[in-house]
Structure 1
Amino acid sequence: MRSFSTIRRWVRPVLHVVLCAGGLALAASCQQEGGAPADPGETPAVVVEPDGTVHVPAMTVPVSEFLSPEGQTHLADHLYANRQAESVKLVDGVPAYLRGYMDRQSELYPVVKTDTEIAGIHVFDYAPEEGVSAENKRRVLINLHGGAFLTCWPACAELESVPIAALGGIRVVSVDYRQGPDHRFPAASEDVAAVYGELLKTYPPENIGIYGCSAGGMLTGMAVAWFQKHDLPAPGAIGIYCAGSAPPVMGFGGDANYTTAAIGEARAPFPAPEKAATDGPVYSPMLYLSEVDARDPLVAPTTSDEVLSKFPPTQIITATRGFELSSAVYTHSRLVKLGVETELHVWEGLFHGFFYNPDPPESRDAYNVMVKFFDEHLGK
């Protein structure tokens, strides 16, 4: 089992960078090929190893010119906040920097929230202040909040549910599923299945949608695999946001582990790992998943064509600076190959969970594609 300190390093790696030539860089990239220090007057060389590993020299990455002015400010604020201990401090269970987003959402998107239980599982049950629309009376969405399977209830539940309930005119049930450090896989999948099973008594499966961001996006895919194993019908549609369904062996995996850390989260990239074993179990540094093979299809559905081919219509949302980008893109490519109806939306210049802030127009655009997707697929 991984230590809790190891998990904390994975959830929010230390905000330490190696300064080289005035920029962010890996230590190895501060040298030219052959190990000689780079001449300050020369352009540092890109070093390529025989296996394709690339050592990237220090570089400056400006804010994308394709972002709206509000989006540019949002990115700068996010990067700055990630360097401040006070901004990530929990206050009444809510990271300090998220509180302003919650307050702003409540102004823009009025809802009625009911604190209750479904099938013995604690949930927040949201409805638009003016009531559920006529076309959505027989539809419901289940939200699975983010937080690395460790935290972010109720903050992420609010931020992911409130705008969708209000803009979509639909009921949204956010599940307070069991997380680490007190619980391990498959506790969260079991909780989602319990809530889903109870809602099936009121709604046909094709009228139920499930979505979540980050850990909640991972859990959305995991839940669909769990439903298959336990003979529950597939929901009408799902949204895997700020995540993918690939094995979470180190971070979310792929190139994005290394290309997005500095420009999306103001932190150093993960260290390059040793080659993963091709046989036998491999484990995620996430505490909740520390006792299960990260390649188990119930954890990473992309590892099983049989499981993934039975997925319902799936929407994937990510961003070019999101550390989940590679997993999201890979999951989409696997779904396409297997003939599953799927769509991928990638927001330029933004980062993991960017749409928690409701003010940038890019966030409203993301809400709109979410609402449209479920409106087009639920009950069809």
Structure 2
Amino acid sequence: MKIKFKMKHMLFSFIVLVFISCENKEENAVVEPYNGIHLPATISIEARDMLSNWTIEGRNAGAQLPKANAPLEVWKKKQDEAKNAAAKSLPKIVEIYKPTIDTVFLGTIRAIDVKPKNYKKSNKVIIYVHGGAFVFYPADVTLLSSIPLADASGLRIITIDYTLSPQAKFNQILDEVIQAYKELLKEYKAENIAIYGDSAGGSITAGAILKMRDLKINLPSSVVLWSAWLDLDEIGDTYFTLKKTDPNLVYANFLENCAEAYAPRTEWKNPYVSPVYGDFSKDFPPTLIQVGSKEIFLSNSIRMFRQLKENNKEVELDVYEGMWHVWQGHYPLPESKMAIKNTKNFIFKHLGQEI
């Protein structure tokens, strides 16, 4: 009888423990939504809320672009649609941060000049090369990136309004960025200039640095790459491991078409086009690489980091749990504020600014 009682007592205790364990798991777990995007418990509530509004089905539906050789009017229509959609989010951020925004020309290159509220004239400046898969957005509608960083840093940010693809190919676009940079060198010392780019803008930024180095142009103090598209070809590991779960990026019929609009496939291993293939035994500025764990470009960032690290360059790889492509532009998110703070601190370190 005692043995039976003990067994019953043990069985009851086991059931209670299992019940409590399941209850705790239910409290702490994040239910996998039916949209195909995992919502990790390890990111902010704000980030989970944002992710919960996206679906893989919606991502795929929006990932149909013209072929690279489609008529320019077809591309222009897509570009206008993207510009108009992006412009809708600007009044709110301008109202929150109250920056001063001007159009300027660096030689013949148009740019958008963002100064934070209560800006104090400085001998230091940040250049921004915006993303958009090489084919989207005039600089005017990329303020979700530049305004918060200008505010955090107190510095002027100049966004280069380069000609988009397919209207221009990589060589023209890089030359426009370099021309704008050389104009700024007339006003600022190279050691007082920082440059950053996101997505395709990160590729253009790093490609322009490599070309400037080869042209013997004085290089900026530091480089920051946000979710950079550093290899145009679909060969990095996470292009495949994250292919079905990246909430934003699709290669076939989207990124692939944009890449071909920017440069012919025969140029995809040209370091000016895919900077991960650059020779980093030569000069390259201190570099901060930020990337999210959800994006297919994660491998691009890891490979770039390894290239710089193995060539004894100063480089930091700053990976963010559960973040998607260019989350830094979603300025209300805690993870965005953290990334912008780290960007500012890295830039300040190399500009000689007090943090």
In structure 2, what is the Cα distance between the partners aligned to 1:156 and 1:331? 28
Say if 2:237 is the partner of 1:255: yes
What residue is the counterpart of 1:370 in the other structure?
343
3-state SS of 2:162 partner = coil
In structure 2, what is the Cα distance between the partners aligned to 1:118 and 1:373? 26
What residue is the counterpart of 2:123 in the other structure?
138
8 Å CA contact retained: 2:270, 2:277: yes
Note the C-alpha offset of 1:325: 0.6
Note the C-alpha offset of 1:266: 6.3
Q: Percent of pairs identical after alignment?
A: 26
Say if 2:292 is the partner of 1:304: no
Q: How does 1:1-380 map to 2 (within 5 A)?
A: 62-79=38-55, 82=59, 93-94=82-83, 96=85, 98-99=86-87, 101-132=89-120, 137-154=122-139, 157-245=142-230, 247-250=231-234, 253-265=235-247, 285-290=259-264, 293-305=267-279, 307=280, 309-379=282-352
Determine which structure has the larger helix proportion and give its number.
Answer: 2
3-state SS of 2:164 partner = coil
Give the letter for the 2:289 counterpart: I
In structure 1, what is the Cα distance between the partners aligned to 2:323 and 2:188? 36
Note the C-alpha offset of 1:91: 6.0
Give the letter for the 2:146 counterpart: S
Which structure has the larger Rg?
2
Note the C-alpha offset of 1:285: 4.0
3-state SS of 1:82 partner = helix
In structure 1, what is the Cα distance between the partners aligned to 2:112 and 2:173? 16
- Residue 175 and residue 370 in structure 1: after superposition, are their counterparts in 2 closer, same or farther (change >3 A)? same
Deviations 1:102-136 (A, max 9, x none): 3342233221011121111010011112113x6xx
- Residue 206 and residue 267 in structure 1: after superposition, are their counterparts in 2 closer, same or farther (change >3 A)? closer
Give the letter for the 1:350 counterpart: M
In structure 2, what is the Cα distance between the partners aligned to 1:187 and 1:304? 19
- Residue 104 and residue 365 in structure 1: after superposition, are their counterparts in 2 closer, same or farther (change >3 A)? farther
8 Å CA contact retained: 1:301, 1:308: no
In structure 1, what is the Cα distance between the partners aligned to 2:282 and 2:258? 24
- Residue 116 and residue 269 in structure 1: after superposition, are their counterparts in 2 closer, same or farther (change >3 A)? closer
- Residue 308 and residue 177 in structure 1: after superposition, are their counterparts in 2 closer, same or farther (change >3 A)? farther
In structure 1, what is the Cα distance between the partners aligned to 2:191 and 2:292? 29
